[in-house]
Amino acid sequence: MRYLLSFLVAIFSISSVFAEHEKISLLHTKGQQAVGLRYGKGTKNKFDLGAEYELCFNQRSALLCQADFEKASFGNSDFTNQFLIGAGLEIMCFHPVKWMFIDLNILGNVGYDKWECEALDAQKSGVIGGANIGAAIEFYPIEKISIVLGGQQYLLFGNGTNYLKPNFYAGIRYVWN
């Protein structure tokens, strides 16, 4: 984790050197789209893989769609989030420099969970639903590529349970107008 954090700080530090400021300042305009991949880790999960799509309504807001797959272990039980899809709003709330945005987002989610407990030889699966809120730092080392570092907190219900699920992630997006 320490190496990942060091790597991300290094990328962030040199981004302004390579940023094409004039072109990047035109990003987050109406009709801009982005598609990307991300890798995440929560407090208890093994990993979270995701894909996302963004469509800007204007310079401050966008539609954000995400799809995730997750594996985790909790004591004697294993958990697999077969899929979790979400759609919602991303607000670009702070733009300190031309090549960096700070975003807040809120999404509604629906998915399918599977729980297995080897000790009890039991299995439980079913549809879940809920919401998540998050924040991210998005920066552009080059015109068509953005790097996103963020965190989300999920509140999910289903399978006779409800639970909170944090997720911290790093991702990369390809951007076009």
| CA proximity to 37, closest of 62, 66, 8 | 66
pLDDT for the residue numbered 59: 86
Whether residue 88 has pLDDT greater than 70: yes
Most confident segment among 87-91, 143-147, 157-161? 87-91
Q: Which position has the higher pLDDT, 34 or 100?
A: 34
Q: How far apart are CA 81 and CA 163, in angstroms?
A: 13
Tokens of 16: 């302004």
Give the 3-state secondary structure of 43-84.
CCEEEEEEEEEEEECCCCEEEEEEEEEEEEEECCEEEEEEEE
Q: Which position has the higher pLDDT, 122 or 40?
A: 40
Q: How far apart are CA 149 and CA 159, in angstroms?
A: 31
Rg value, the chain, Cα: 18
Cα atoms in the Cβ-side hemisphere of radius 13 Å centred on 77: 13
What three-state secondary structure class fits 29?
coil
Residues 173 and 148 sit within 8 Å (Cβ to Cβ): yes
Percent above pLDDT 70 for the chain: 85
Residues 146 and 172 sit within 8 Å (Cβ to Cβ): yes
Mean pLDDT of 56-67: 94
Q: pLDDT (tens digit, 9 = 90+) per residue, 106-116?
A: 999 999 988 88
Whether residue 136 has pLDDT greater than 90: yes
Whether residue 21 has pLDDT greater than 50: no
Q: Given pLDDT bands bounded at 50, 70 and 90, which one contains residue 29?
A: confident
Indicate whether this model's pTM tops 0.85.
no
Q: Which position has the higher pLDDT, 145 or 74?
A: 145
Distances, alpha carbon 136 to alpha carbons 81, 84, 129, 148, in Å: 23, 19, 23, 6
